[in-house]
Amino acid sequence: MAEAILYGVAQKMIENLGSQIFQEIGSLWGVEDELENIKNTVSRIQALLQDAVEQQNHNHQVKDWLEKLKDAVYDADDLLSEFWTEASRRKAVSGNKMAKKVSSFFAKSNSLAFCLEMSGKIEAMRKKLDAIAKEKNDFNLKVGPVEKHGESTKREETHSFVPNEKVIGREDDKKVIIKLLLDTNVEENVSIIPIVGIGGLGKTTLAQFVYNDEIVKTYFELKMWVCVSDVFDIKIIVQKLIYAIGEKPEDHSMDQLQDQLRKKIVGKKYLLVLDDVWSENPHKWDNLKNLLMGGAKGSKIVITTRLKLVADIISPVAIYTLNGLSEDQSWSLFKQIAFRKGEETNNHRLVEIGREIVCKCQGVPLAIKSIGSVLRFEKTERKWSYVKNNILESVTQQESGIFPILKLSYDYLPSYLKGCFAFCSLFPKDYEVDKVTLTQLWIAQGFIQSSNKDQQLEDVADEYFKNLLWRSFFEEVRDEFGGLKYKMHDLIHDLAQSIAGAECTLADLDGNNFDGKTRHVSFPFDIDSFFIETLSSLVKANNIRTFLLTSSEDRCGALKESSLNNLILSFRNLRALDLHGWGITRVPNSIGKLIHLKYLDLSFNQYIETLPNSVTMLWNLQTLKLSSCRYLKELPKDIRELISIKHLENSGCDSLSNMPRGLGQLTCLQTLPLFIVSKDSSSISMHNAGLSELNLLNSLRGTLKIEHLERLKDANSESKAANLREKQHLEKLILTWFVGYKDDEKSLEGLQPHQNLKSLYVWGYGGVRFSSWLSSLTNLVHLKLRRCNRCRYLPSLSQFPSLESLSLEKMNNLEYISDRDISEEVSASSTMSSTPFFPSLKSLTIQFCFNLKGWWRERNLVVTTSASTPDHHQQHQSLPSFPCLSSLVIYECPNLITMPLFPYLKVELFLKKVSLKPFQQKMEFPTSLPSSSFSPLSKLKSMTLGFIKDIESLPDEWALHLNSLKRLEIWGCPTLRSLSRAVQYLTSLEELEICDCVKFHPFSDMDDDGMEWQHLNCLRSLTFKELPKLKSLPAGLQNVTTLKELFILNCCNLISVPEWISNLTSLEQLEIVGHAPNLTSLPVGMSCLKSLRLLTIADCPNLITFPESISNLTSLENLQIHRCPNLTSLPNGMLCLRPCSPTSASSSRTLSLSQPDSLQSSIFNGY
């Protein structure tokens, strides 16, 4: 890693030594000549680095010289950092007259002593660097060009990457794996399919390709993905499985975690992918398999592994060995990466060389992508030939041809990226890192430099990251919350570790892998007694610059203050210190001694109440993370001393009541998620900040939330003093009032943001009208207004070109969404030159707006409730329509009578406690759409109708268009009588739930046996719940052979389950639950349900017997009978089911009983 670090640190030293502050203080302290000499020496050495790096591969003396140089440069950097800190302190204090009078720090005696000490250190460092520089003559090193930080080859390419490129050459592999997954001819309920292949072949990519296939999604009830990696810890795997299901682990004990997992998977046909498995321990495998055996028949576990031995020990139904890509497939992948579209046709010589290179990649996609990414930035034949020759030489010298190709892709990185890449070896394999965190750590280490003074280092770091991502050093992944994270392929991680060497160390439990060369360390395990012992062994590596904890678990045990104090005192050269989630209750005063510290993460230490004021002595600190420190009451009062701070992350600090005065002097601040207006304006002048502290913070980025705006005393002047209009980099602004007042209009008017704003949330605003500036925010993408109770209408938003989501919640007095007259809107929308109505809006949510009457005022347009008149038909056709709306949610808006058209709705229509008429009209009339063949709502996938009082049936006019609808829920509609004949048009419907509709009967008046239901030929799940008029099932269902789940719940007048239920051969789950006193028997036809896995019968007091033939249900895995007092026996064949107990939860076939005692004893006595 020597050369990777040297480039960055050396460049940073050169730039710092040339800065004005170094020159001024150097002159004042009499060391300007020494500093200039150090600068010149480092510049000369830097010019030789490229040649030295190339020679070290075959000259150990050069390699040793680079190591010696690296150590010297590190020491010089520490010294100059100390110098800069004191120089900056002197400059800041000299500008503070009061501090100048009372401080003794810069008394002449102290200043003279410091100058003499620093002068001696600088002279010694200069001599040391000069001596090392002279040694270069022994190696005949050549001067080469120095790459400038912040500049990259073909910079315009770095933002055009496609990280999730189309999978090439794996269609046949995918088909084979899917066939294995769908195979039902297996003995065990849960079977295992390993995918085996060498690193870089794309095993994970293939598994993802299969996992996300639509057929697979439909076939399995439950899907889980867990990355195992090289630590096969069953407890961690179980926790990850619970998260993958969408739950949160309820307890840390293994017994309770296992129980929670079993309850979630029992009786369900699931697909589990265990990615990147290394463990060859059969005992661990058996333990894990026992936990997973409770799944339904047909469940599958796919594992990916490099080791065939792993595949052999898990008793798989089949082993799939993944081979490399064919020559043509390899070339297609390479061409996609290395050339722009069509570019290969312009240079046949590059194609020829490229094909030779591809042949040496042995069909390994990772190698092809890596080398293709290198060549995308090189377009000369000479460069391509040079790369080809290097590959040939590397491959012939080593046994494997893959790793040297990856190493070559590293060699071709710009020098300023090499240190950034090697630093990533600190994270464990398969670790998912946040990009912002990673780039902040890079900046803290000095890896990010820019020759452009107007460019923020964060922007340069983002370009660096994109460059590495494009070159396939990172992969995009989604975390369990859908957020974007990044990780390295195992082989790329191996490469990073080989380059970093001992300098970047992942600690092991015994701490034996630390030495004096270790500069960066991370701990991928939890805090316990072993951790404390490991920490003590780290003292020998006293030059540590980075200290990270990468364990994802919440730490239950607190790190003692004494241990933390020892850590701080042992590592004075730290640049980055990660203490997040360590259970810390108190930060020691010694934290202020870490004068080089640039990154400090204290987030998720919820019991910290205060920070020591010594934190403000960290003059180099750039990032301070305090997020989710829930009980933190205040920030340090001398926060103005943190002159280098850029990121102060304080979201989730729920106990903060104010902000410290002086915050506004931190003009470099880019991140400040939360600003709280002080309770007592009289205290603002003493210690607490007013909104005026935001005035000069014009570099703020990301999100800013301002809380308790009702506390403003002079709303007009104080809000204007925040100067939000000049904060052009803010993306999201949240303004909150706890209690709204009339004066809020003045405060909101003064809080006008810059027009670049992307998201605006306003909560609790008490004004009658919104500020006119709202209409000027034409770049808004998201707008959410909540509890703005006095507001009656909004400014016009319909022409916002970028607005994608609009949410209005609990706007009690809102009458119209727009104050514009509907005739004006119709006239405007009909103008050819006008912007389309809400041209980008995708999501619209309106909730708890009880007085909302319509979208527009209707001064000149009479809207009738009848659709019979030609005039009304014409008026309706001329209404504006949302051209992109995908999701519409209207909840508790009982007085709403007019809405714009929404013909293109795709994802969701959710209507609850509204009148149906304004929505019904949208589908009854043909709209003036571009294509006459397009029908309104013909692409809609999901519809929910809840507590709607004016619907008697689902109109044919609706259903006729709903030919893409997959999910329909209707509940709490007291006047709904039937679905009428409309049900026959819902040919794509997969899920149907009808609940709590007291007049509902599944048969229409025209068809008293319900045969129209036979047209639901895609239906998979049907729920009838709390329907008192339901006596039996509609006859048409007997033809719906796709049905897999049938739930009849709390239908108190159910008389029978028809014999034709035998036709439902795909049925896997049947539940008849709830008070059904008229149900006395079950149909004999149930014996034909060969796919039935789960049968639940409960609360049927007069059910006397099960048909004897029900014992033919060979697939039945779980039978539950509860509160059926007259059922005293089961057919003899049912004794193959084992009574369910806590110790038999993983059994393949179980029986759960409650009441009567006689039935329980008759069953349990059989064992």
Instruction: Looking at the structure, tell me whether residues 290 and 335 fall in a common domain.
Output: no
Is residue 32 included in any domain, yes or no?
Answer: yes
pLDDT surpassing 90 at residue 1165: no
pLDDT for residue 84: 81
- Return the top range by mean pLDDT from 349-353, 428-432, 995-999: 995-999
Burial class (CB in 10 A: 0-12, 13-18, 19+), 79: middle
- Structure confidence at residue 360 (pLDDT): 84
Q: Hey, what are 952's tokens?
A: 């008697």
pLDDT of 694 higher than 90: yes
Paired tokens of 763: 């909560």
pLDDT score, position 529: 52
Domain co-membership, 392 together with 426: yes
What is the average per-residue pLDDT within 1126-1152?
60
Q: Does the pLDDT of residue 321 top 70, yes or no?
A: yes
Please say if the pLDDT value at position 982 is more than 50: yes
The alpha helices in 30-170, defined as continuous H runs, are 32-55, 60-94, 97-102, 108-134
Which residue, among 1153, 5, 1144, has the nearest Cα to 517 in the 3D structure? 5
For residue 731, give every residue at least 6 positions away whose Cβ sits within 8 Å of its Cβ, in sequence order, or none.
701, 702, 703, 756, 757, 758, 759
In a domain? residue 85 = yes
Mean pLDDT over 366-377 rounds to: 86
Q: Are residues 468 and 336 in the same domain?
A: yes
Residue 438 in domain = yes
Q: How far apart are CA 265 and CA 222, in angstroms?
A: 8
Average pLDDT over residues 1087-1097: 89
Instruction: Locate 847 and state its tokens.
Output: 């909730």
Which amino acid is located at 655 in the chain?
S
**Domain end call among 86, 105, 139:** 139
Structure confidence by residue, pLDDT tens digits, 227-274: 888 778 888 889 889 888 888 887 667 888 888 888 888 888 899 999
Give how far Cα 604 sits from Cα of 235, 440, 471, 777, Å: 23, 18, 34, 35
Which region among 128-142, 850-864, 1028-1042, 1134-1148 has the lowest average model confidence (pLDDT)? Answer: 1134-1148
Q: What is the mean pLDDT of the chain?
A: 83
What tens digit of pLDDT does each residue of 284-300 get?
Answer: 888 888 888 888 888 99
Is residue 665 pLDDT above 90, yes or no?
Answer: yes
Q: Please, which contacts does 798-801 make with residues 24 or more away whose CB atoms are closer than 8 Å? A: 798/825, 798/837, 798/838, 798/880, 799/834, 799/835, 800/838, 800/840, 801/835, 801/839, 801/840
pLDDT, position 101: 40
Q: 800 in the Ramachandran plot: left (φ > 0), alpha (ψ -120 to 50) or beta?
A: beta
In a domain, residue 625? The reply is no
Distance CA 126, CA 23 (A): 16
* One domain, residues 290 and 358: no
When pLDDT is averaged across residues 767-790 and rounded to a whole number, the result is 92
Is 344 inside a domain boundary?
yes
Q: What is the pLDDT of residue 1075?
A: 86
Alpha carbon 512 to its chain centroid, in Å, reads: 35
The percent of residues in the chain predicted with pLDDT above 70, rounded, is 83
Axis crossing angle, helix 282-292 with helix 254-265, rounded to the nearest 10: 50
699 pLDDT band, cuts 50/70/90, is: very high
**Model confidence at 465, in pLDDT bands (50, 70, 90)?**
very high
Q: What is the pLDDT of residue 862?
A: 45
Strand partners, 196: 305, 321
Same domain, 194 and 81: no
Q: Note whether 332 and 470 are same-domain residues.
A: yes
Instruction: Give the distance, in angstroms, between the CA of residue 408 and the centroid of all CA atoms in the same chain.
Output: 32
**Mean pLDDT along residues 750-754:** 96
Token pair in block for residue 221: 């009830």
pTM over 0.75: yes
CATH number at residue 283: 3.40.50.300
What is residue 393's predicted lDDT score, i.e. its pLDDT?
A: 66
Cα 970–chain centre separation: 32
Q: pLDDT value at position 14?
A: 80
- d(CA 795, CA 775) in angstroms, rounded, equals 6
> Is pLDDT of 109 > 50?
no
Q: pLDDT tens, 512-564? A: 667 778 899 998 766 555 566 666 666 667 789 999 987 755 555 567 788 78
| Whether 378 and 413 share a structural domain | yes
With a cut of 90, say whether residue 731 has pLDDT above it.
yes
Is the Cα torsion angle 542, 546, 547, 550 positive or negative in sign? Answer: negative
Same domain, 308 and 337: no
Is residue 72 domain-shared with residue 203, that is, in the same domain?
Answer: no
Q: Which of 206, 216, 214 is closest to 321 using CA atoms?
A: 206
Of the pLDDT bands very low, low, confident and very high (cuts 50, 70, 90), residue 444 is very high
User: What are 925-972's pLDDT values in tens digits?
Assistant: 444 444 445 678 889 999 999 999 989 888 777 788 898 999 999 999
Residue 142 pLDDT? 76
Instruction: State how far Cα 731 lies from the chain centre.
Output: 18
339 and 485 co-located in one domain: yes
Most confident of 27-36, 855-864, 1006-1015: 27-36
Query: Is residue 9 in some structural domain?
Result: yes
pLDDT for 108 equals 42
Residue 451: pLDDT band with limits 50, 70, 90: confident
Pairwise CA distance, residues 1161 & 105, whole Å: 87
Residue 1020 predicted with pLDDT over 60: yes
- Helix or strand run (H / E) with residue 382: helix 381-397
- Does the pLDDT at position 95 exceed 70? no
Q: What is the 3-state secondary structure (H, E, C) of 1120-1158?
A: EEECCCCCCCCCHHHHHCEECCHHHCCCCCEEEEECCHH
pLDDT (0 to 100) of residue 1135: 56
pLDDT computed for residue 858 by the predictor? 67
Angle (CA) 239-240-244 rounded to 5° is 120
Q: Are residues 414 and 467 in the same domain?
A: yes
Greatest mean pLDDT among 77-81, 343-347, 721-725, 877-881 lies in 721-725
- Helical ranges in 513-619 per DSSP H: 529-537, 561-570
Tell me the C-alpha distance between 875 and 464, whole Å.
56
Average pLDDT estimate for 643-663: 94
* pLDDT value at 1002 more than 90: no
Do the domain assignments include residue 448?
A: yes
Q: Are 210 and 302 in contact (CB under 8 A)?
A: yes
Residue 888: phi and psi, rounded to 5, are -130, 120
**Is 1000 within 8 Å of 974 (Cβ atoms)?**
no
Question: Of 37-51, 958-972, 1122-1136, where does mean pLDDT reach its minimum?
Answer: 1122-1136
**Domain range enclosing 416:** 155-163+326-492
- Of 139, 171, 204, the residue at which a domain comes to its end is 139
pLDDT in tens, 882-905: 899 999 999 999 999 888 888 889
Identify which of 105-109, 168-172, 1041-1045 has the greatest average pLDDT: 1041-1045
What is the tally of structural domains in the chain? 3
What pLDDT is attached to residue 863? Answer: 45
Higher pLDDT, 379 or 1082: 1082
Give pLDDT, residue 397. Answer: 53
- Residues 333, 480, single domain; the answer is yes
Residue 648 region by backbone torsions, left for phi larger than 0, else alpha for psi between -120 and 50, else beta: beta
Domain boundary among 321, 353, 384: 321
Tell me the residue length of the chain.
Answer: 1167
Mean pLDDT value of segment 1012-1022:
91
> Is residue 753 reached through a cis peptide bond, with omega within 30 degrees of 0 on the bond before it?
no
Read off the pLDDT of residues 578-626 as tens digits, 9 standing for 90 and up. Answer: 999 888 899 999 999 999 999 999 999 999 999 999 999 999 999 999 9
Asked, for residue 207, whether it belongs to a domain, the answer is yes
Q: Average the pLDDT over 711-723 and give the result.
A: 90
